[in-house]
Amino acid sequence: MKMSRTWGLADVREHNTEDSCWMVLHGKVYDITSFLPKHPGGRSILLKNSGQDATAAFDSVHPVEILEEYLTPDQIIGKIEPGEPIQDVKTQKSDSSPQGTLTSALPPLASMLSVVEIESYALQRLSPKAISYYVSATDDEITKVANGQIYRSILLRPRVFVDCTECSLKTAILGNNVGLPIYVSPAAMARLAHPVGEAGIASACSKFNALQIISKNASMSPAAIVSAGTEAVFAWQLYVLKDLAATERTLAQIRKIPQIKFIVLTLDAPFPGKREADERFKMAEVAGGAPPQAWGTESALTWRKTLDWLCRHTSLPIVLKGVQTHEDAYAATLFPAVKGIILSNHGGRALDTAPTPIQVLLEIRKFCPQVVNTIDVLVDGGIKRGTDVVKALALGAKGVGIGRAALYGLSVGGQEGVERVLRILADETMTAMRLLGVKNISELSMRHINTSALTSALFNGPSGLEEIEAEFRSKL
């Protein structure tokens, strides 16, 4: 079979099984039979759309560029015949369509006063698939809940007789000037929330000169996303795939986008957590007896091997996402290519009962406080109030990330909904700073918070730093 061959949809329909699986995407006919067991989202969704034109369904969650990353040229077996009527699988009623459960008109965005309120409206509008994916967390969701609750145990210490007429949220993250210490974390498949997708998030960030970390699993291409946010700052999330050549092809594409200022290597999900709500939805989609999905992320990453490899494929600063102990935070400072870390437990979606980012930050303060002065430390998870932002910054974080909150804002109002989320958090953060007697981010410090209620929740074993020194110093 040659690429020049043309096929009719009737030909394609005959290939809709695991033994022979074809699909039409953007006018080209693909034989994806060998890709079925490798698809990160599992084979069932591919089989559901096999033997037909799946372009619209594909575009709703993927950028077209991803085809070059995951599929090889020999899997393109021809083109669809001109004039063939397109059987668009997306025209069928789908549980994955954005705003699939819309029940009533929403109040004006300006009347929504908190992130929690926006979340409540979003859950009325999101499709069952989006809810199962965005909201789910691992096992009993203890870590997901704790990510936010821990902030309640930190008290603020306001000072008086301080002129706080002027107040600024401007700061720098990895040397990039930003208008907010709040950034949008990498969150996959934003088009499940709203058709504007990640471009809407980028446009919202642009209004605040804020940072957006683009998800490796975004539903739009990085180039399309950065073009929508001319005044935003961008980084790109990297998952290292088992197919290392595919990862290297993607890194080559990222090198062509100058707006991307650093690479965020995600480390907190080498294997999928047991997210029961997500699994339950997938079980409902899968025909009886279908095999479980494959996990496409490489699980054999190690400090030296992986960082040496990555440095050969990018000259950008590297940030490690998913640091969950003070030992790993300290180890990160021993590698010159690493310019920052993100304290994160994957939003409670990986290992349940893992520590919250704030606990890890407190343990860094306890065992190796020099870390916050050596590399940029970011916190990701549980932020719902401006007071949460201030507490993290006072502990030494350079910035805080929001993931689900941005997606919820996108769901209720597209770009304007994300702007509303950022505006709420910015206003609350500035109010908290003024009431503390602080004019700018750099003035926040440990003297503005009381964390004594959390002392018993911190790791109380040996620091382990000598072992890390012995392991890495002599080999660097």
Residue identified by tokens 């893992």 is 354
Catalytic residue among 59, 268, 352, 388: 268
Nearest residue to 133 via CA among 175, 186, 189 = 189
First vs last C-alpha separation in the chain: 51
**CA 189 to centroid of chain Cα atoms:** 9
Radius of gyration, alpha carbons of the chain = 23
What are the two backbone dihedrals, phi and then psi, of residue 232, each rounded to the nearest 5 degrees? -85, 165
Helical axes 386-394 vs 357-367, angle rounded to 10°: 20
Catalytic residue among 239, 330, 376, 448: 239
Catalytic residue among 15, 194, 346, 448: 346
Angle CA 60–66–69, to nearest 5: 160
Is 26 a catalytic site residue?
no
User: CA-CA distance, 401 to 416, in Å (whole number)?
Assistant: 19
Residue 254 burial (CB < 10 Å; 0-12/13-18/19+)?
A: middle
Is 268 a catalytic site residue?
yes
User: CA-CA distance, 446 to 443, in Å (whole number)?
Assistant: 10
Encoded tokens for 185: 């974390």
> For residue 69, is it left (φ>0), alpha (ψ between -120 and 50) or beta?
alpha
User: CA-CA distance, 212 to 229, in Å (whole number)?
Assistant: 9
Please tell me whether residue 346 adopts helix, strand or coil conformation: helix
Catalytic sites, residue numbers: 239, 268, 346
